[in-house]
Amino acid sequence: MTLDFSSMRMPTLKIEKFIYMADGFYVYKMEEGYAVKDQFGYTLKSAKTVKTCERYVQQQLQTRRAAERYAIEKINEEHKKNRAT
């Protein structure tokens, strides 16, 4: 019995260098560009330049802040209605 190893694929290691983290977004330098990952290691954005990744992170943070402001306004409105009655 012989084993044929020619059809087996060996996993390749991808070299990533951590650059920075911003509120749950991790930016890495990859072999062929840059990537933004979440806390679970899922790639959210990959690009050739770090500037594109930085813009993506900033856009996501602005969206998150806007959603938080909206939620706080709604909570405050509910509290005001409950106090008035």
- Alpha helices for 6-49 (secondary structure H): none
- Name the residue type at position 32: E
Q: Three-state DSSP class for 50? A: helix
Q: Which residues pair with 21 in a beta bridge?
A: 26
Does the pLDDT of residue 1 top 60, yes or no? no
pTM: 0.73
The fraction of the chain above a pLDDT of 90, given in percent, is: 71
What residue has token string 């209605």? Answer: 81
